[in-house]
Amino acid sequence: MEYEHLSTEKIEYKVFGLDCPEEIAILKKEVGGEIGILELDFDILNAKMIVTSTSGEITSDEVIAAVSAGGMQAILWEDWLKREEKESFWQRYGRSIATGVSGSLLACGFLAHWHQHGSFIDALVAGNDGKEHIFPLISIIFYISSIIAGGWFVAPKAFSALRRLRLDMNFLMVMAVIAATAIDEWFEAAAVTFLFSLSLLLEHWSIGRAQKAVTSLMDLAPTVARYRCPCDGDIIEAPVEEVPVGAMALVRPGEKIPLDGEVTKGSSSVNQAPITGESVPVSKEPGDEIFAGTINENGALEFKVTKAANDTTLARIIHMIQEARSRRALSEQWVDTFAKYYTPVMIVLAMTIIIVPPLLFSASWVEWIYRGLVILVIACPCALVISTPVSIVSGLTTAARNGVLIKGGIYLEKVGQLRALAMDKTGTLTFGHPEVQNIIPLNSHSQHELLERAVALEIHSEHPLARAILRCAEAKQISTNLVAENFQAIKGKGAEADIDGRFFWIGSHRFMEEKGGETLEIHQKVKALEDAAHSVMAIGNEEHICGLISGADGIRPEAVGAISEMKRLGLEHITVLTGDNTGTANAVATTVGIKDVRAELLPEDKVQAMEELVKDFGQVAMIGDGVNDAPAMAVASMGIAMGAIGSDVAIETADIALMTDDLITIPWLIRHSRNTMKIIKQNIWFALGLKAVFMGLALIGMATLWMAIVADIGATLLVIFNALRLLNSSHRTIKK
């Protein structure tokens, strides 16, 4: 959101204790309600809050005070970065220590009680049946101490929730513990506190696991780089932040590339898997782009730095992943809304169970208070609330590891719901540049001879078809020692030179006509190739035409398999939207198995076509290059950019950016999305189902407090580990 009519400022804060959606809701209430606050954004992975406010309306101290009112602590982000010790010992280990102390004291109280009253164990297993248990004073002291330790991080949030009249799970637990102590259930009060504290620790750990997954991306790029001093050429080693754009940097074999750049000297294979997910190293030569965080394998490289450290492709990927948590999936929003109403309803239900039977049916107050407390404990929405965000964070991080940048949980969710897909042709289904399609030798020459002479004549040319010839020769492992002497480029036509003492030329159809020697048979071959949208280059000498080489925008080899896989996954409609001519578009679409083709479209025509598709199918994605197809992407349910590595515009424009040009990533992404949503649904139904079962057991007096909390913590553990399974699906295994 822009506030053009206001003078605004944006300040970042580190918030200690910000690790789940519950805290975000608290901060929106406490900080968002302050005068002068225009907008709040959150990076939950780094516990960061970004405050946009009217300049001069609110101070940083007032924002920090508002955070404190919500039971958390905040400092300015820049102060956080300057700290030598990022977290104090207590901030880093306080939860673990408090939980450990609480558990130890609980065990001590239990053992002391057992020592004096062995029958207590039988009563504990059987549940509270209305009999009073005599607790030794030492046991009570241990239990109270356990409650204090376990509730150290919970109580401030519970009282803050009560003050705001927003009854969250922290309040629910504190209320249950207080009530349990009131009816002399000291052991169970302490057990509930300890197990709830353990549950929160597990929640904190699960978010930390996802944080480490993103941090591992940050650790991909080295912190220092070597570059040549522009004044005297000496090699300098400096932090990457201090290396200027335009500097000539060096990287040895086996080292990670520190910054984005363009190779100026040397050749090597570079492992780009950390960013793109590609399993095969990519060869790099002068003129090729290289990216920070990738690994130089077998040759020394010198490259010109093209981007500052904070603007590299890797830096932008990390930034987008961090921002993605603010674009929350609909399932996350549903869970939050559900929990908002669910907790008060559970409190009312528990109070009804506590009050109604004793008042109307003269039942035992102690017995029904106990049953009401069991309802309160099992009603805790811990497992429900944590399951979805952990699943989404895991899904987003795994996608990034596989070279797919998804800008929010909402898009991760949507991609699995796609019913239709629109694709640009050039650069999406095809390479976007010509590739050699036919090599036709004439007059007793061979394909090998033609390529050898073509390479000698075109070795220094930048013409797209010349580059295609060189790639073709490399793929066929044709290397030549032939040297073109007396070389002369004929502008707009071709080139000529002496090779091994003989005169040769290469050029267009028109150049061939000028040189002579074109027979009717050769003319018909050229005409047929040109009618098929091929560009033709002829090679000849003083005696005759040696042969023809044709090139055209080649179809990606994985396109047929990718389209087939998408259909198998249930996409109802796939269409091609292109500005290219109808004949070429139909030929490409027929080859890859797409029936609906809309060709010769202007950008506004693509927008109109996309509007029709959205109207007919609802969820429709547009796949393109993220620039030319931006208007159609904006109309689509989501835009997917192909080959976004190194392209800032593509990363900014699309909702999903594929770092490589690999179309097979699309069906992988659809499956990954559906798997993520399946896990979320499993977690939600499991958490709700378990609660329903234990509520039924509580109503008939078969569930105890400690059984309820063990069930709840078990549910929390299971949904967390179920969600974290997504982190292990880190490599694509689809066959092309």
β-pair type (638-641, 8-16): unpaired
Q: DSSP state, 6?
A: S
Q: Which amino acid is at 671?
A: R
Give the position of tokens 């940083």: 60
Token pair for 313:
């492709």
Given a contact cutoff of 8 angstroms between Cβ atoms, the answer to whether 478 and 452 are in contact is: yes
Strands (E), 341-443: 404-406, 420-423, 430-441
Distance between CA atoms of 640 and 415, rounded to whole angstroms? 10
Q: DSSP state, 359?
A: H
Q: List the 404-406 sheet strands across, edge first.
A: 404-406, 656-658, 638-641, 620-624, 420-423, 573-577, 596-598
| Phi and psi torsions of 96, nearest 5° | -65, -45
Helix axis angle for 313-324 and 382-401, nearest 10°, is 160
β-pair type (8-16, 73-76): antiparallel
Catalytic residue numbers read 424
Q: Please, which residues bridge with residue 553 across strands?
A: 434
Distance between CA atoms of 73 and 65, rounded to whole angstroms? 8
Torsion of CA 146, 150, 151, 152, to 10 degrees: 100
Token pair for 420:
């239709």
Cα atoms in the 13 Å half-sphere on the side-chain side of 158: 18
Selection from 673, 685, 695 nearest residue 383 by Cα: 685
Distance between CA atoms of 264 and 721, rounded to whole angstroms? 47
Distance between CA atoms of 238 and 241, rounded to whole angstroms? 8
β-pair type (248-251, 301-305): antiparallel
Token pair for 114:
């057992």
DSSP string across 63-75:
HHHHHHHTT-EEE
